[in-house]
Amino acid sequence: MNKTQAIDILSTHYGAIYQGSRVIAITGNLIEDIMNEGDEGKTFHKWNTAPLPTTVEDGSLIGLAEIYLKKAA
């Protein structure tokens, strides 16, 4: 499985549109930097689920999609 397939599987599972990915960077905003502490440089993928967006770290993307794929079978 590749990332594109994983994104499609998770989009179907969440019933939501994929919003893209974001690399966490240091912003200089103390509150935001504290909230993201330890995640600097990591990539996260985002879906527009309600009431809050769902985010999945890049390293967990394929594994999570495989779990949902097995449950759907």
Q: Are strands 43-47 and 18-23 parallel, antiparallel or unpaired?
A: antiparallel
Q: Does pLDDT of 72 surpass 90? A: no
The amino acid present at 63, given as its one-letter code, is: G
Which residue would you say has higher pLDDT here, 72 or 40? 40
Q: Own/partner pairs for 55-60, CB < 8 Å, 24+ apart?
A: 56/10, 58/3, 58/21
Instruction: Give the span between the Cα atoms of 69 and 56, in whole angstroms.
Output: 16
Q: What is the mean pLDDT of the chain?
A: 96
What is the value of pTM for the model shown? 0.87
